[in-house]
Amino acid sequence: MQTICPDCGYTFNIENNQLELSDGTVDCPKCEHVFNSYSGLSIKGVGTTFDTYNKLPFIMLVLVMLVLILLQALYFDSKKIINFIGFKDQINPVCEFIKCQNKIKRDVTKIKIISRDVKTHPVKKNSLIIDISAKNTANFLQPFARMVISMSNIQGEVIAQRIFLSHQYVGQKLANKGMDPDRVYKIKLPIQDPGKNVLNFEIDFIK
């Protein structure tokens, strides 16, 4: 057997019976440093501890296995996986590539506005609050869609428009869960008052 001195790096041979008698404690014949040889023990030049280079193939193998397991889970049950970890927008393209069997369904035409109202913000100056009730009329769970609010003047010209991502109007936690079928969601959006020229506003949901 061989061991390496941690002080000077010298490699030397050592007998097994010596290790047993000294409980692994040895003296380096070069620098006389006393140390526990088990930490640097090797058999025929192969150390018992792995350095970063020796670990790399093992780490890569583990990562490849984890990726394969995730892809397999996505393929057979993507709906539960995506709902559990969120990141629908990032995972859906992967599902497109590997043809997931349970790809998340989406139909923004099934998201309906039940009611809407615009009023002056009770605290902030030059601000409005838009109250919206939206319902997923589909018979399946689907992601929250992006919401577009357009404001127009008396001629019907759009003079102000803003797109809200799902987490901006329902919060990240609810956005990750998605819209339950046949459920009404209450949404409050504070926005800047676009001025007296605005006489109408429209709300649409887009992918």
Whether residue 191 is contained in a domain is answered as yes
pLDDT (0 to 100) of residue 9: 81
Euclidean distance between CA atoms 11 and 90, whole angstroms: 51
Same domain assignment for residues 113 and 185: yes
List pLDDT tens digits, range 96-150: 554 554 556 889 999 999 999 988 888 888 888 999 999 999 999 999 999 999 9
Verify that 131 and 82 share a domain, yes or no. Answer: no
User: Are 41 and 56 found together in one domain?
Assistant: no
pLDDT value of position 180? 92
Query: Is residue 103 situated within a structural domain?
Result: no
pLDDT at 73: 56
Indicate whether 33 and 114 sit together in one domain: no
Amino acid of residue 187: I
pTM: 0.50
Q: Which residues of the chain have pLDDT under 70?
A: 1, 17-23, 37-56, 69-104
In a domain, 79, yes or no: yes
203 within 8 A of 149, measured Cβ to Cβ: yes
Q: Which DSSP category does 177 fall into?
A: H
DSSP 33-100: -EEEGGGG-EETTEESS--HHHHHHHHHHHHHHHHHHHHHHHHHHHHHHHHHH--HHHHHHHHHHHT-
Residue-range definition of the domain harbouring residue 91? 52-98
Looking up residue 136, the CATH number of its domain turns out to be 2.70.50.60
- Same structural domain for residues 15 and 74? no
Name 22's Cβ contacts closer than 8 Å, sequence gap at least 6: none
Question: What local confidence, expressed as pLDDT, does residue 106 receive?
Answer: 87
Q: Domain check: are 83 and 158 in the same one?
A: no
- Looking at residue 194, its pLDDT comes to 83
Q: Which token pair is 7? A: 């002080």
DSSP string for 112-144: EEEEEEEEE-SSSTTEEEEEEEEEE-SSS-BPP
Print burial letters for 59-80: b (CB count within 10 Å at least 16), e (below 16). Answer: eeeeeeeeeeeebeebbeebbe
Token pair 């869609």 in the structure block, residue: 145
Same-domain pairing of 56 and 31 = no
